[in-house]
A = this chain, B = another copy of it.
Amino acid sequence: MNRKRITSIDVAQYAGVSTSAVSRTYSAPGKVSASTRARVLAAADALGYRPNQLARALVNSGRQGSGIVAVVMGEFDNPFQPWMFGLLTQALQQQGRVPMLVHVTEQCDIRARLQQALSWQVEAAIISAGSLSQEATERCLELALPMVLMGREDKRETVTAVLSDNRMAGELAAEYLGTQGLTQLAYIGGRQDGQASLERLAGFRSGLIQRGLSAPVVMENRDYAYHSGYQAMSRLLREHPDIEGVFCACDALAFGALDALRLNGGQVCQVVGCDDTPQAAWEGYRLTTVRQPVEQLVAQTIHHLKQVLDGNSPTGTTVRMTPTLIVR
Contacts and interface: CB of A to CB of B under 8 A. Distances in A.
Contact of A259 (B89, B121, B282): B282
Contacts of A103: 86, 89-90, 93
A250 B282 CA distance: 16
A241 interface: no
Nearest to A68: B54
A98 B100 contact: yes
B278 A262 contact: no
Interface string A29-60: 00000000000000000000011111101100
Interface residues of A, number: 54
Interface string A97-108: 011110101000
A28 interface: no
A239 interface: no
B58 A55 contact: yes
B262 A119 contact: no
A52 to B, nearest CB: 6
A77 B80 CA distance: 10
Given A54-B61, A121-B52, A121-B53, A226 B282 contact: yes
B76 A82 contact: yes
Contacts of A157: none
Nearest to A2: B144
B230 A255 contact: no
A25 interface: no
Contacts of A260: 283
Contact of A284 (B1, B83, B259, B278): B259
Contacts of A258: 284
Given A101-B101, A284-B255, A115 B50 contact: yes
Give the one of A93, A226, A284 with max B CB within 10 A.
A284
A54 B58 contact: yes
A52 B119 contact: yes
A59 to B, nearest CB: 9
Contact of A1 (B51, B93, B144): B144
Contacts of A219: none
Nearest to A1: B144
Contacts of A116: 93, 98
